[in-house]
């Protein structure tokens, strides 16, 4: 298993305000990642990067009572990463269901402490 990227993902009912804050901090919109594979009700999502290459993803999710910060972890070797997280007590928010299509494999994993990791592998 290899981690290919690791960055915060902010889920908010007011994504436009979060994006505006990060733009003021020097981040620029790069592209819209396919976060709907991880957060199924996301209406709109953004990837922002700054001049140093730091990234933050922002997903619009109606109805969330407050912003949630999740770690987005892209990997090569989804099954191994999933097994490691499970071994450490993480639970898939969809039970045993893995979201998979021709482009990616994904699961949102939550620890008992509340630590949440959006685990994603982009398939080639």
Render pLDDT for 67-116 as a digit per residue (tens, 0 to 9).
999 999 999 999 999 999 999 999 999 999 999 988 899 999 999 999 99
List, as one string, the DSSP characters of 67-115: -EEEEEEEEE-HHHHHHHHHHTT-EETTTT--EE-SSEEEEEEE-TTS-
Give the Cα separation of 85 and 82 in Å (integer): 5
Please write the tens of the pLDDT for every residue from 6-28. Answer: 999 999 999 999 999 999 999 99
Q: How far apart are CA 92 and CA 76, in angstroms?
A: 18
Residue 21 and residue 57 in contact, taking contact as beta carbons nearer than 8 Å:
no
Residue pair 39/86 in contact (Cβ under 8 Å)? The answer is no
């Amino acid at each position: 298993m290899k981690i290919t990227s690791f960055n915060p993902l902010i889920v908010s009912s007011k994504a436009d305000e979060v994006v505006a804050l990060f733009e003021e901090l020097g981040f620029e919109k790069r592209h819209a990642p396919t976060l709907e594979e991880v957060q199924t009700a996301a209406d709109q999502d953004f990837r922002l990067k700054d001049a140093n290459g730091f990234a933050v993803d922002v997903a619009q999710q109606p109805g969330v009572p407050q912003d949630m910060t999740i770690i987005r972890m892209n990997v090569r070797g989804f099954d191994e990463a999933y097994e490691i997280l499970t071994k450490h007590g993480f639970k898939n928010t969809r039970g045993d269901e893995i979201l998979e299509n021709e482009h990616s494999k994904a699961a949102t994993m939550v620890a008992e402490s509340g630590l949440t990791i959006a685990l994603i592998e982009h398939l080639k």
